Amino acid sequence: LSLKGNLLVGQAGGPSSVINSSLYGVIEEAKKYDQITGIFGTIHGIEGILEEDLIDLKAQSQEDIEGLKRTPGAALRACRYMLKSSEPDDDDIMRVYEVFRKYNIRYFIYNGGNDSMDTANKIYKAAELMEYDIRVMGVPKTVDNDLEGTDYCPGNGSSAKYLATLVRESALHNESMYTSEPITVLVTVGRNAGWLPAACALANNGKDEAPHIICFPEVPFDKDSFVNKVKKVYDTVGGVFIITGEGLTDKHGSYVMVKSGDVATDPFGHPELGAVGDYLKNLLEERLKLKTRVIVPDISQQAAMHWASATDIEYGELAGRTAVSAAIEGFSGFMPSIRVGKDNTTYNELVELETVANAERRVPDSYINREGTFVTDDFINYIAPFIQGDVKLPMENGLPVYTRLKRIPVVCK
Amino acid sequence: LSLKGNLLVGQAGGPSSVINSSLYGVIEEAKKYDQITGIFGTIHGIEGILEEDLIDLKAQSQEDIEGLKRTPGAALRACRYMLKSSEPDDDDIMRVYEVFRKYNIRYFIYNGGNDSMDTANKIYKAAELMEYDIRVMGVPKTVDNDLEGTDYCPGNGSSAKYLATLVRESALHNESMYTSEPITVLVTVGRNAGWLPAACALANNGKDEAPHIICFPEVPFDKDSFVNKVKKVYDTVGGVFIITGEGLTDKHGSYVMVKSGDVATDPFGHPELGAVGDYLKNLLEERLKLKTRVIVPDISQQAAMHWASATDIEYGELAGRTAVSAAIEGFSGFMPSIRVGKDNTTYNELVELETVANAERRVPDSYINREGTFVTDDFINYIAPFIQGDVKLPMENGLPVYTRLKRIPVVCK
């Protein structure tokens, strides 16, 4: 069962505030085991393997390693590059194993979302045919909270805390301006899963408070009932604060804001969906003649470390630690998973990468009200624990100080 | 010199994080003087006067009043409505004085930006012809920092602190993604004055760190030299973080991103300028073939109380206090002003509303480098003191708790 060699860790996909906490967890856990000799990081995920751009993580100062727990972005840099195949006739997979052999990589830990878990799974599946003994583990990461096989993804709690605060603050600001601009539409990230729009409900602290309406990617969008609902809130409250995810679909499952024949796509071929804010603005200004402001928080919801959740940071670290300890125990092809229980919620399962790869976990019906316009108390009870606890950042000249890892190349012995 | 009666305070224009600190200062200062009997607030600024929508501020709980120092938005609600004339044949000005007489308003304090100082000035100028004894004072408020006659405007420091933090965090995030999206353009508010774009330079903590380039509304925009500069940074650093204000003009003084004949305007007739981000994105993607991301922080830079500057909050409060104490001393038609000195910087002057009304104070040449693409050390030395000190907000369930004033109507005795 004992496998001796080096560990390689990589980060992939859009970073969250706690992706570096997971990296911290991987590094600190790996240091515990004699079987793991070197601890290496790949720069820009898979791209760094293909290009042999690996850095030595044991050679970093302990101060920089500790700083990872308080630094946004991906300290190893991430990528959107994916492996296409796990077959031995694929150039990329051949090259990955060539580099693994060269650097005696026996533990590979990949931290990312569902696309990245697919890449990790391809590497895992190739091991046998490559006749190379390696343990591959995924570490969950996504602010979207949409990984299959786990009830929670590290990164989501910090985004939820930041977005709910932003909604509470923006709502007070926008209330002040009801006579000139009564409607606000805030667009969160999340393409097909409404976990972050849902989390914005945490801002609501009383009957008429924002947010008033949540548009879930899970609920078919109906123009008329939406406009009627907005009108009803406007007549009662004097202004309306609406949250929407990036992707809204009609009853036929087509994105409402993507005109046919006019679909911009991202590097994965996913349609660019930020346009939903403008779509709703145009709809409301045309139908209700009420001025509408669109807010798109963008990067801030993935990088606002200054307002991260301390609980989320802990789960981030623990995800990294669990992946390493499971690999040491002999597991390969798995990702640590949280099953939310009544008492002590922690990483209490391992889920196969095959299950996670490219799947999407959407918000279940029990978390959405019958009208399809707000969350239920069950959802609030579920998400609230993950936004608890504040971070205390080191400050200098009024601003937080973050860490950068040193580019110390791995010397191949 | 002694004038006895009620004080009325109003808030106008887009709120800042500290506009309620000024309100707190006005209320607490007013309580000190026997000459001031009632302390009233007008809801939605001038609109509340015209509609007699006034609330009693002495009837609020002290807890709510204290909460103002830690609450974003405008607690009295603001407006974008302006007075057109100070002449006695104008319906609005007649109505304002009618309400002043009815409620025996002898002190009128108006908190806002340059448009609002113009409205306060019109009320001040009408007093003599109306044969009504009243003292009118303005209180400076604008995140843009562009009020004439003062070296600093409360609100700017908190926005500067938040934006610089956001730039530092977003830059770490975006660095991670250089291989898929190397260029970022962040658009701050500020139409013709680049104080907030300039403040983003505070994030820069080392040679190759973000932001790399700042586009100032004060510097004529030249496509070719901009593209060349971006290319140069890209070749050295591998990615580029650009800051721009909302308004950029060419050498003829025309906004670069507003097509002629296609100008959307806001309620004041100002062109809507948010489009500058898309303009720069299109330019760079076309010329350099490098994927560019646009970030528009929007409301958060005016409402992020959770990350406000404690120093800015103090200046906000002191502006309100100074306006009231000056009115008690007999001044009318003025606004408290800060002249930045070598030692103790505080409100050390009063400036005539006439000077402030509708004027704009732009960033001086000495704060912009010779190339026109970054700030000087003089600017950093000027702005740094105003972002110091963190706020400690009351928290509940992982989120900050804010205050709402009670709608207790003024009873006319």
Residues of A in contact with B80 (CB under 8 A): 177, 179-180
Q: Which chain A residues are within 8 Å of B171, Cβ to Cβ? A: 73
d(CA A78, CA B172): 11
pLDDT at res. A348: 84
Q: Rounded to whole angstroms, how far apart are CA atoms B159 and A407?
A: 34
Alpha carbon of residue B400 to chain centroid: 23
Mean pLDDT of B370-399: 96
Model confidence over A344-354: pLDDT tens digits? 678 889 999 99
Q: How many CB atoms lie within 10 A of CB A377?
A: 9
In terms of pLDDT, which residue wins out, A268 or B289?
Answer: B289
CB contact (8 A) between residue A388 and residue B395: no
Instruction: Give the largest Cα separation in chain B, rounded.
Output: 73
Beta bridge partners of B5: B36
CA dihedral A233→A235→A238→A241, nearest 10 degrees, is 20
Q: A249 in helix, strand or coil?
A: strand
Q: What is the pLDDT of residues B97-156, one digit of tens each?
A: 999 999 999 999 999 999 999 999 999 999 999 999 999 999 999 999 999 999 999 999
Looking at per-residue pLDDT, the higher value among A100 and B297 belongs to A100
pTM over 0.90: yes
Chain B residue whose CA is closest to A11: B176
Closest by Cβ to A267, choosing from B80, B81, B180? B180
Q: Do B402 and A168 touch (CB under 8 A)?
A: yes
Q: Which residues of A are catalytic?
A: 144
Which pairs count as long-range contacts for B283-291, CB under 8 Å and 24+ apart, including other chains? B283/B223, B283/B226, B283/B227, B284/B183, B284/B185, B284/B227, B284/B230, B287/B227, B288/B183, B288/B227, B288/B230, B288/B231, B288/B234, B290/B182, B290/B183, B290/B234, B291/B180, B291/B181, B291/B182, B291/B183
Whole-angstrom distance, CA of residue A329 vs CA of residue A320:
15
Looking at per-residue confidence, does B165 or A270 come out higher?
A: B165
> Taking the CB of residue B340, how many other CB atoms lie within 10 A of it?
14
pLDDT at B335: 98
Confidence band, pLDDT 50/70/90 cuts, at residue A265 = low
Q: Is a pLDDT exceeding 60 seen at residue A143?
A: yes
Strand ranges for B234-282 from DSSP E: 240-244
Average pLDDT over residues A128-138: 96
Q: Are residues B302 and A173, on separate chains, in Cβ contact within 8 Å?
A: yes
Q: How far apart are CA B230 and CA B54, in angstroms?
A: 53
Classify residue B244 as exposed, middle or buried by CB count within 10 Å of its CB (0-12, 13-18, 19+).
buried
pLDDT attached to residue A256: 85
How much is the pLDDT for A272? 56
Minimal Cα–Cα distance from A133 to chain B, Å?
A: 30
C-alpha radius of gyration, chain A, whole number? 22
Give the mean model confidence (pLDDT) for residues B61-86. Answer: 95
**Section B171-175 average pLDDT:** 95
Between vectors from CA A330 to CA A328 and to CA A333, what angle results, nearest 5°?
105
pLDDT given at position B274: 58
Least CB–CB distance from A176: residue in B77, B267, B293: B77
User: B317 burial class (0-12, 13-18, 19+ CB within 10 angstroms)?
Assistant: buried
Residues A58 and A9 sit within 8 Å (Cβ to Cβ): no
Helix (H, G, I), strand (E, B) or coil at B413: coil
What residues pair up with A264 in beta bridges, in sequence order? none
Q: Check CB contact under 8 Å for A180 and B402.
A: no
Residue A151's nearest CA partner among A359, A317, A345 is: A345
CA distance B283 to chain A (A): 18
Give the three-class secondary structure for A136.
strand
Q: Are B169 and A306 a contacting pair at CB < 8 A?
A: yes
User: What is the residue-averaged pLDDT of chain B?
Assistant: 93
Are B161 and A387 inside 8 Å of each other by CB?
no
Partners of residue A307 in chain B, C-beta under 8 Å: 306-307
Asked if omega into A211 is within 30° of 0 (cis), the reply is yes
Residues of B whose CB is below 8 A from A161: 398-399
pLDDT at A257 over 50: yes
Quote the pLDDT of residue A260.
41
Is it the case that residue B358 has pLDDT exceeding 90?
Answer: no
Alpha helices in B83-209 (DSSP H): 91-102, 114-126, 156-176, 195-199
Residues 6 or more apart whose CB falls under 8 angstroms from that of A260 comprise none
pLDDT of residue A254: 86
* pLDDT tens string A50-77: 999 999 999 999 999 999 999 999 999 9
Q: How confident is the model at residue A255 (pLDDT cuts 50, 70, 90)?
A: confident
**Residue A119 and residue A114: Cα distance in Å, rounded?**
9
Smallest Cα distance from B15 to chain A, Å: 6
Q: Check pLDDT > 60 for residue B259.
A: no
Instruction: Using an 8 Å CB-CB cutoff, list chain B residues near A71.
Output: 172
Q: pLDDT tens digits for B205-227?
A: 888 999 999 999 999 999 999 99
Q: Which residues of B carry out catalysis?
A: 144
Which region among B65-69, B139-143, B356-360 has the lowest average model confidence (pLDDT)? B356-360
If you average pLDDT over each of A274-278, A309-313, B279-283, which comes out highest? Answer: A309-313
Chain B residues inside the 8 Å CB shell of A296: 296, 298
Compare all CA atoms of chain B with the CA of A384 and give the residue at the minimum distance.
B397
Looking at beta carbons, which residues of chain B come within 8 Å of A179?
44, 47, 77, 79-81
Phi, psi of A352 (to 5 degrees): -65, 140
Q: Is the pLDDT of residue B273 over 70?
A: no
Measure the CA–CA gap between B72 and B77, rounded to whole angstroms: 11
User: Which of A176, A304, A387 has the CB atom closest to B169's CB atom?
Assistant: A304
CB contact under 8 A, B173 and A80: no
The pLDDT, as a whole number, for residue A137 is 98
pLDDT at B272 over 80: no
pLDDT band at B267 (very low <50, low <70, confident <90, very high): very low
Chain Cα centroid distance, residue A403: 21
Looking at the partner chain, which of B161, B389, B400 has a beta carbon nearest the beta carbon of A165?
Answer: B400
Whether residue B169 and residue A402 make contact (CB cut-off 8 A), yes or no, is yes
Kind and range of the H or E run holding A380:
helix A377-383
Q: In terms of C-beta density within 10 A (0-12 exposed, 13-18 middle, 19 or more buried), how is residue A404 classed?
A: middle
Is the peptide bond prior to A394 cis by the omega test (within 30 degrees of 0)?
A: no
Contact state of A161 with B390 under an 8 Å Cβ cutoff:
no
Contact A303 B72 (CB under 8 A): no
Name the residue facing A297 among B168, B180, B300 (closest C-beta): B300
Report which secondary-structure segment, H or E, holds A112.
Answer: strand A105-112
| Tokens found for residue B164 | 């610089």
A-B interface: how many C-beta pairs under 8 angstroms?
182
Whether residue B197 is predicted with pLDDT greater than 80 in this model: the reply is yes
Tokens of A259: 């005109």
Nearest to A74 among B78, B176, B309 (CB): B176
Give the CA angle between residues A13, A16, A17 to the nearest 5°: 155
- Amino acid letter, residue A62: Q
Q: Are B258 and B246 in contact (CB under 8 A)?
A: no
What is the average per-residue pLDDT within B249-273? 64
pLDDT at A261: 46
The answer to whether the CB of A96 falls within 8 A of the CB of A45 is: no
CB contact under 8 A, B170 and A297: no
Please classify residue B406 by burial: count the beta carbons closer than 10 Å to its beta carbon, then call 0-12 exposed, 13-18 middle and 19+ buried. exposed
Residues in chain A with CB shorter than 8 Å from the CB of B175 are 73, 77
Judged against a pLDDT cut of 70, whether residue A47 lies above it is answered with yes
